[in-house]
Amino acid sequence: MKGSIVGRVRNTTLPRAKALLPLFEAVMNAFQAIEEGGGGTHSIRIRVERQGDLANEKTGDIEAFTVTDTGCGFTDANYSSFDTIDSSYKAHRGGKGLGRFVWLKAFQRVEIDSHFRQLDGSTLARRTFAFLNSDDEQPCTPIPSDQQAPITVVRLIGFREPYRSECPKNLATIAQRVVGHFLPLFLDPKGPEFSLSDSFEEINLRDFYRTNFE
């Protein structure tokens, strides 16, 4: 990445009361990737991982979030933008190019596994890499994909304090915060399928919206 990741993370502000903002940034990226990917049936799935993930620990501390989407993925253009500090690639959508640094403010590492269509449109490639609070170069060369359609998994790992303690633990509370934050996107009945789950339950967020917000 061009520039200093360590410096940018150090200068990024994330109030402890906004512990879910890194998750919201990952979900917004998923929505935008689906928009860019075009028509068809799409989905976004959020998975909550708790410390130990032990039985009867439905409200245990959260260790990681995984966001999976069927959007266009980390194409060459998207990866180039991701790899450029202060990128203006998403400026027309209101993006400031800072969301990924919020990830590292609250999490120890981010792992990305993306299957995307190459420029010829007929074949898929796979791009896998870790995003760390480090200025060491991390080469990321695409390889052939074994998937039939684009899919991207972004995993935010190692929830740091004080954000971990401030984050809601109850799945229904997290669902309420996610739907409330993205309320305008739920107004589109043709939007992607959207779910939130942990080891104990799964919430269909569109049903949750219809029941609690509409």
CATH of the domain at 177: 3.30.565.10
Domain count within the chain = 1
**Tens digit of each residue's pLDDT (9 = 90 or more) over 97-110:** 578 999 999 999 99
Token pair for residue 80? 């180039």
Prediction pTM value: 0.91
Instruction: For 62-116, give the DSSP string.
Output: EEEEEEEE-SS-S-HHHHHHHTBTT--TTGGGT--S-HHHHHHHHEEEEEEEEEE
Q: Which domain holds residue 160?
A: 5-212
**Tens digit of each residue's pLDDT (9 = 90 or more) over 148-184:** 999 999 999 999 999 999 999 999 999 999 999 999 9
Query: Are the C-beta atoms of residues 49 and 36 closer than 8 Å to each other?
Result: no
Query: Are the C-beta atoms of residues 115 and 125 closer than 8 Å to each other?
Result: yes
Question: Residue 208 pLDDT more than 50?
Answer: yes
Q: What is the mean pLDDT of residues 124-153?
A: 91
